């Protein structure tokens, strides 16, 4: 809207300056048109500035949201790594226990086999 006003005011100034009518009324109208063009230009500059500020605020908000999301992902990753580490420790302990039990059973079986062989040899 402000841009349209600026274009209209500029066109009016140009049209009035092309007429070269030097009557006091024409001079007054030209001065008013120039003032309107200046005001429209100031409003356009304000609108551009406000738009720039909104874009900057939007970028800052997006950056903050991205930083928060990255932080959440990092926390979830650390939690998952801790869970995996705990599961690996538990699996290692269970495997070690199973190996120890199998070794004990194998040792017991070997002793029983020795006893059985000795009993047959007697």
122 residues of the chain, pLDDT tens digit each? 556 666 666 666 566 565 555 677 777 877 787 788 788 888 888 888 888 888 888 888 888 888 888 888 888 888 888 888 888 888 888 888 888 888 888 888 888 777 777 766 66
In this prediction the pTM is 0.41
Q: Distance between CA 73 and CA 78 in Å, rounded?
A: 9
Give the Cβ contact number of residue 10 at 10 Å: 16
Angle between helices 2-19 and 24-121 (to 10 degrees): 150
């Amino acid at each position: 809207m402000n841009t349209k006003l600026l274009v209209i005011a500029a066109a009016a100034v140009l049209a009035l300056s092309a007429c070269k009518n030097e009557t006091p009324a024409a001079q007054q109208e030209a001065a008013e048109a120039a003032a309107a063009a200046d005001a429209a230009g100031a409003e356009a500059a304000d609108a551009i500035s406000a738009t720039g500020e909104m874009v900057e605020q939007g970028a800052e908000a997006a950056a903050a949201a991205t930083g928060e999301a990255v932080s959440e992902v990092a926390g979830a990753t650390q939690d998952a790594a801790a869970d995996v580490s705990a599961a690996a420790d538990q699996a290692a302990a269970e495997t070690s226990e199973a190996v120890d039990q199998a070794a004990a059973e194998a040792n017991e079986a070997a002793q029983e086999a020795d006893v059985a062989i000795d009993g047959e040899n007697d």
